[in-house]
């Protein structure tokens, strides 16, 4: 099992991306930052490497996905409250992001999404630590009905 996660994303303008994600409260590891890349810290085990597109292309023989018309992934991260979900999306929109989808409220889970300045899709969610209510499709007892 993996102990750390590094997600690599191509970006057009590294400084613009750093400013955008700094506004959202993320920090960066200066030991892994230069003119081609930066390491955005999600938590102690998860990182997003923002790579200038030309540098990103040195890691693959595939074409870089055009985010204006297609999605290569949806990156989701959790926050501590419903209010923090809305605040993150408002901050993203105020700092160069764009709207993606309307907020979705499932009662025990609330999420909203945005696109970063490079068109990558981000979802911000809060989930009740108690989980879904018993008997709901996502809250059914995995052992099945009890008699």
Task: Choose among 132, 145, 125, 38: nearest CA to 81.
Answer: 125
Query: What domains sit in the chain, N to C, each tagged with a CATH number?
Result: 1-58 (3.10.180.10), 72-139 (3.10.180.10)
Strands 98-99 and 46-52 turn out to be: unpaired
Average pLDDT over residues 41-70: 93
Quick one: CA dihedral 73, 80, 16, 38, positive or negative?
negative
The pLDDT tens digits of the residues spanning 69-128 come to: 888 889 999 999 999 999 999 999 999 999 999 999 999 999 999 999 999 999 999 999
């Amino acid at each position: 099992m993996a102990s750390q996660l590094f997600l690599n994303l191509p970006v057009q303008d590294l400084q613009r991306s750093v400013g955008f994600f700094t506004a959202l409260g993320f920090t960066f590891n200066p030991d892994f930052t230069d003119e081609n890349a930066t390491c955005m810290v999600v938590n102690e085990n998860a990182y997003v490497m923002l790579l200038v597109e030309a540098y990103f292309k040195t890691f693959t023989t595939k074409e870089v996905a055009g985010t204006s018309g297609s999605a290569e992934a949806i990156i989701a991260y959790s926050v501590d409250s419903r209010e923090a979900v809305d605040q993150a999306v408002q901050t993203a929109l105020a700092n160069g992001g764009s709207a993606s989808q309307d907020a979705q409220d499932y009662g025990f889970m609330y999420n909203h999404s945005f696109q970063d300045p490079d068109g990558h899709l981000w979802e911000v969610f809060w989930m009740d630590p108690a989980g879904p209510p018993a008997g709901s499709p996502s809250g059914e007892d995995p052992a099945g009905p009890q008699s």
